[in-house]
Each structure stands twice: as C-alpha cells, then as structure tokens.
DNA sequence: CTTGACAACTTGTTAAGACAAGTATACATG
DNA sequence: CATGTATACTTGTCTTAACAAGTTGTCAAG
C-alpha cells in the first residue's frame, strides 16, 4: 500500500449536472495529475475500485473516465499493475484545430491580419492532388485569406475555402475579426471534429515572402487540409503556408496504428 | 424500418478466442462496411440492440466495438438516430508508424537502402530544439541511417537513434534489412504506441541531394520524431528528411481537440 | 538462500438491466 | 392543411455483478 496521487477527502461529482459524471471524474483526475506532476515521478493513480469508492460512482464510470484520459495520451494502463500518468508534453501549433486556441494553449498571443474575402469558382489545384473528399465538379466558394501571427510576428499565410451553399448569410457575419471556428459554431452550429491533411515543402514566392516577411526562396511548409464535422460534413478546405525559420509545426501525441 | 448493412444471418463470434469478443465484432463490422461501401451511401448500421441480438452478445460489448470504430474515425454516432459509416479515406505516408507497413497499406512497395550503422555520443541539435523528452545529459546512441524508397524511388533520408542501453545485443541483430519495428518487437518486446513530432521545411544540401536524387536547394521537409511505448519508454529518436516533389506527407483522420 | 505455492491485489472483459434524452413517425385535434 | 402529441424507436449514461488474467508480495518448503 504505497502513497498515491489521491487525497483522502475528495470533492464530489454532481450527479445531476450538465456534463456526465465520467467527464467530471476525468477532469478532476487531470487536474490532480497536473498539480502533482512535479513531485511524484511514476506514482500510480488510485485503483479503479478506490476511485469508485472515493467518488461514490460505479467502477464502469471510473473506467469511462480513465479510458478518456488514455485516449488523450495522458495515462497508460497495465493489467495487474495499475494506471500511470504519462510524462507531460508541451504545446505547439499543430496546424489542426483552431489556430486561436492552439496558440493560446501554447502560452502565446494569437492574432490574424485580414487580407481578403472574395468569391472564387473553384479550389486550388493542389487541393485535388493531395486530399480526398474534394468534389470534382466545380463549385463556388468563399475564400478568406488571413495572415496568422504569433506574438504579432507573421508565421503563416492561410486561405480558407467555404462552400457558399453551406454558409448562408455569411455576408452579414464578421469573418474579418475573431475566431472563424467560433463563428461557425455560433451561427451555423458546425463543430469541427476531424481533419485530414497533407504536407509538402516549398519555397516562398514573391507574394508569400512579402506577407510572411521572409526572403524570396526561403523554405516554407504548405499544408493542405480538409476539416469535417462529426457527421462527416466538409466544413472547410484550407491551404496554409508556414514559414520555416524558428517556428515548427508540431504533431502532438499521435497514436500509432 | 429501412434496409441496413446487416444481413439476416451473420457469422458468429467465438467466446473463447484469443482476441476479445468486442474486437471480433468490430472487425466484422469493419469488413462489412468496406464491402458494401460503394452500394449504400449513407445507410445506418444496425442499432446496438439489433447487433447485440445478431451476435448474441450484450449491448455493452457492442458499444465497445462501436466505440473502437468511432475512435478510428470509421463511423460517427448520433443520439436518437443511429451509427453511420464515415466516408473512406485513402492511405498515404504519415511519417508515423512503421514506414514499411504504411507504404504497403498505401498500395506501394516499400524498400530501404542501408547507408550506415554507427555509434554516436549525442543527438542532433534540432532534436533538443523541437522535441520534449530529450535527455539533456549526453548519452551514447546507435545511429541507423537509411534511405527510404517507394517503388524503388528514394523519398526520404532517415536517421534513427537508439539508446545503447535499451538495445543490448543489437550487434547480433540484422538491422540492415527488414523492418526495424518488427525487430524491436521480436527481440526486445518493444511496441511503438505514441509519437510526438515536429515538422519544418528546409532545402537540400549536397549530401541530402545526392541521397534523394534531387537538386541542391530543392525544398524538403525535416521531421523530428520521438516514438514511445505505451508504458512511456522512449524507443527511438528519428530525423527524417523527405523530398518535396510529388510525394506528400499526409496526416490521416486526426481528431480535433 | 532459492524456489514454489498461494493470497491479495490490479486491470480487462462480459452480462443484464434501468433510465435519460434525442429523433422520427403516425395520428388525432384544431 | 397545419400543429401538437403520443409512441416507438435510437444512442448516452450509470449501476451491480461476476469472472478472467496479469503482477506483486508473503511465506513455507526445499
């Protein structure tokens, strides 16, 4: 019986809350692990039965919480031994998800410089080459062009293509400012859930070089991405051009196989 | 009561098998979806209760199977409606996982050209810059250098760094041929489970250009990666340099948030 | 001291049941 | 015709229970 991460008396979960109990348990455990990370190196979490007793929930519910932490790569589990926290990983910009929230999580200050918002009659060629789920027939799109900045330093030139039919009334929305994902959520109820992406290297041409404040011919990363909702609707096509100096795209904690 | 993907009579799962029942169910469903993908566009899977009755298992087991398919991005689920298959995505090389198996899954023929296998006293500088979990103190490593080929065309120059202490007796292993991951599994029981990576663009220098059969100054992608086991042991550090023409790194079906 | 049996843990798997909450359809009422 | 309601679905959440299987420590026998 060794010391573990749990304190004897623990705050309780609320059975009749907006969020399910297993999620409340997961969040409490995640907070515990963050606060006591430095101290204990490789101490096991309390066992599933102990946690069930502490939170006064069934073992199935505890397991749901632990499975969620496992999926996020925060713990690993060993049959016959216990569940252990995995070492911490620091944040970075992955090129997936909301640029705004990603940079904020990394501890920096995100901003965008609006460049353009126009209608186009087709997607760029590279989109068809690199990605699936791209319609072959020509459709009309809104094209929102922005320069993405971290701490007011330009790091990416980004074109976002939105199907005109899927975003009715977008003319009245304020796409020039704020997070596009927040607007998508708020006005049309769209929730980005999955992304498929392709990455290729390139060198900056004159226009890109000017936008990103780098030399012509400097190495850049071009990322092609299609973002879909949980229900498999395509929400956006994105072409991002990241500058290569001192600013790396990171892919965090990716499950293999 | 509309038509669904399930046939009336279904092959049975084996209760006392090596793999758990829920995995057998998941694999059967996955096979079903693949075979009948073209025909039915957006037909729901049978309901959880129907599947439970067909396979003669409990609903918990069916849900475990469906959750697994959901995690893999193969289906989505809607409360009150049902579970639906997501549209297919074709394969590509992600830079994670085994190069050998990835290229095979993409329908191409992988091969490696052995370059070098030497001892080094420290990791490259960029490893410390881009990745966490890199030891600060100097340690000794094996460095395996290979040129990765798809259909006998060179696409990547790759240096794999293995902690000498973690791979005893590696001198007697045949690292020059075959899949390194298969060797890791077979000889030391290591199973790669998670990868953290950073990506940056660069231009080819003389050595790289020769290995990859491209011009000096051509754009390339440098990928820094650390691969860990489920138990959070670091298995390898990898520096990969991918050529940029006509061969894109893809990141498949990545869950957001 | 070494070895093996055993007990007391751990997580993994499966069952059967219950209720909540969202969706869709048929149907009666206005 | 339009509208709301009842009903029969669906998945989401949670409980109690049991056994399987792996790891750890104790303890007695050799």
* Per-residue pLDDT band at A12 (split at 50, 70, 90): confident
Report whether B254 contacts A197 (CB < 8 A). yes
- The dihedral of CA B39, B45, B46, B52: what is its sign? positive
Using CB atoms within 10 A of its CB, is residue B222 exposed (0-12), middle (13-18) or buried (19+)?
buried
Q: Give the pLDDT of residue B206.
A: 96
Going by pLDDT thresholds of 50, 70 and 90, the confidence category of residue A101 is confident
* Residue in A165, A195, A171 with CA at minimum distance from that of residue A183: A171
Q: Which nucleotide, over all strands, has the C1' atom closest to the CA of B19?
A: C13
pLDDT of residue A6: 43
Which of B29-33, B44-48, B89-93 is least confident?
B89-93
CA distance B92 to A204: 25
Is the pLDDT higher at A72 or at B247?
Answer: A72
Q: Name the nearest CA neighbour of A88 among A98, A74, A69, A99.
A: A74
pLDDT band at B37 (very low <50, low <70, confident <90, very high): low
Which range has the worst mean pLDDT, A54-58, A176-180, A234-238, B228-232?
A: A176-180
Highest mean pLDDT: which of A80-84, A124-128, A240-244?
A80-84
> Nucleotide C12: nearest residue by CA–C1'?
A79
Better-scored residue on pLDDT, A141 or A10: A141
Task: Work out the pLDDT band at B9, boundaries 50, 70, 90.
Answer: very low
| Percent of chain A predicted with pLDDT > 70 | 89
pTM of the model: 0.82
pLDDT of residue B77: 94
| Average pLDDT across chain A, whole number | 85
Residue A154 has pLDDT above 80, yes or no: yes
- The angle, 0 to 180 degrees and rounded to 10, between the axes of the packed helices A21-35 and A59-71 is 60
pLDDT band at A252 (very low <50, low <70, confident <90, very high): low
Please give the pLDDT value at position A134.
78
DSSP string, chain A: ----S--SS-PPP-TTSSS-HHHHHHHHHHHHHHHTTTT-SSPPPPPHHHHHHHHT--HHHHHHHHHHHHHTTSEEEETTTEEEEPPP----B-SSS-HHHHHHHTTS-EEEEEEEEEEESS--HHHHHH-SS--SS---EEEEEEEEEETTEEEEEEEEEEEGGGSTTGGGS-TTSS-HHHHIIIII---EEEEEEEEEEEE--HHHHHHHT--TT-EEEEEEEEEEETT--EEEEEEEEEE-SS--EEEEEEEP-
Beta strands in chain B (DSSP E): 75-78, 82-85, 110-120, 141-150, 153-163, 192-203, 219-229, 234-243, 249-255
Contact call for B251 and A92, based on CB within 8 A: no
Residues of B from 58 to 117 whose C-beta is within 7 A of strand C: which are they?
A: 58-61, 64, 78-81
List pLDDT tens digits, range B44-73. 899 999 999 999 999 999 999 999 999 988
Strand order in the sheet with B110-120: A249-255, B192-203, B219-229, B234-243, B153-163, B141-150, B110-120
Asked if residue B42 keeps its beta carbon closer than 7 A to nucleic acid strand C, the reply is no
| Separation between the CA of A141 and the C1’ of C20 (whole angstroms) | 41
Nucleotide nearest to B80 (CA to C1'): D10
pLDDT(B43) > 90: no
pLDDT of residue A3: 41
Q: What pLDDT, on a 0 to 100 scale, did the predictor assign at position A39?
A: 54
Q: Is A107 left (phi over 0), alpha (psi -120 to 50) or beta?
A: left
What pLDDT digit, counting tens, does each position of A195-223 carry? 888 888 899 999 999 999 999 999 998 98
Check: CB of residue B108 under 8 Å from CB of residue B150.
yes
Question: Is the pLDDT score of A174 beyond 60?
Answer: yes
**Chain B residues whose beta carbon lies within 8 Å of the beta carbon of residue A256:** 96-97, 192-195, 227
From residue B17, alpha-carbon distances to A78, B12, B62, B224 in Å are 21, 12, 17, 40
pLDDT band at B105 (very low <50, low <70, confident <90, very high): confident
Res B10: pLDDT:
59
Does residue B14 sit in helix, strand or coil? Answer: coil
Whether CB of A81 is under 7 Å from strand C: the answer is: yes
CB contact under 8 A, A198 and B90: no
- A21-54: per-residue pLDDT in tens? 999 999 999 999 888 765 556 788 999 999 999 9
Closest-approach residue (CA) in chain B for A249: B199
What percentage of residues in chain B have a pLDDT greater than 90?
43
Report the pLDDT value the prediction gives residue A7, as an integer from 0 to 100.
42
Q: Assess contact for B62 and B52: CB atoms under 8 A.
A: yes
Q: What is the pLDDT of residue B106?
A: 74
Percent of chain B predicted with pLDDT > 70: 89
> Which letter does DSSP use for residue B171 in this model?
G
Is a pLDDT exceeding 60 seen at residue A1?
no
To the nearest whole number, what is the mean pLDDT of chain B? 85
How does pLDDT run across B194-214, given as a tens digit for each residue? 888 888 889 999 999 999 999
DSSP code of B176?
Answer: T
Q: Quickly give B63 CA vs D11 C1' distance in Å.
A: 10
- The residue with tokens 């760029």 is A124
């Amino acid at each position: 019986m060794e010391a573990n991460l749990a304190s004897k008396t623990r705050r309780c979960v609320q059975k009749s809350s907006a969020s399910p109990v297993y999620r409340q348990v997961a969040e409490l455990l995640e907070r515990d692990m963050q606060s006591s990370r430095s101290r204990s190196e490789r101490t096991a979490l309390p066992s599933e039965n102990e946690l069930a007793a502490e939170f006064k929930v069934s073992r199935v519910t505890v397991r749901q919480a632990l499975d969620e932490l496992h999926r996020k790569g925060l713990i690993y589990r060993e049959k016959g031994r216990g569940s252990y926290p995995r070492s911490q990983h620091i944040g970075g910009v992955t090129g997936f998800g909301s640029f705004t929230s990603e940079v904020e999580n990394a501890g920096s200050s995100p901003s965008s410089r609006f460049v353009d918002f126009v209608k186009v009659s087709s997607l760029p060629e590279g989109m068809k080459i690199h990605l699936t789920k791209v319609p072959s027939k020509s459709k009309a799109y809104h094209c929102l062009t922005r320069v993405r900045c971290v701490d007011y330093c330009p790091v990416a030139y980004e074109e976002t293509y939105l199907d005109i039919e899927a975003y009715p009334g977008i003319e009245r929305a304020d796409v020039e400012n704020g997070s596009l994902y927040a607007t998508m959520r708020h006005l049309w109820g769209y929730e980005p859930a999955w992304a498929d992406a392709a990455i290729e290297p390139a060198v900056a041409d004159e226009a890109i070089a000017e936008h990103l404040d780098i030399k012509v011919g400097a190495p850049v990363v071009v990322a092609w991405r299609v973002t879909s909702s949980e229900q498999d609707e395509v929400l956006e096509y994105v072409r991002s051009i990241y500058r290569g100096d001192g600013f790396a795209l990171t892919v965090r904690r990716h499950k293999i196989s």
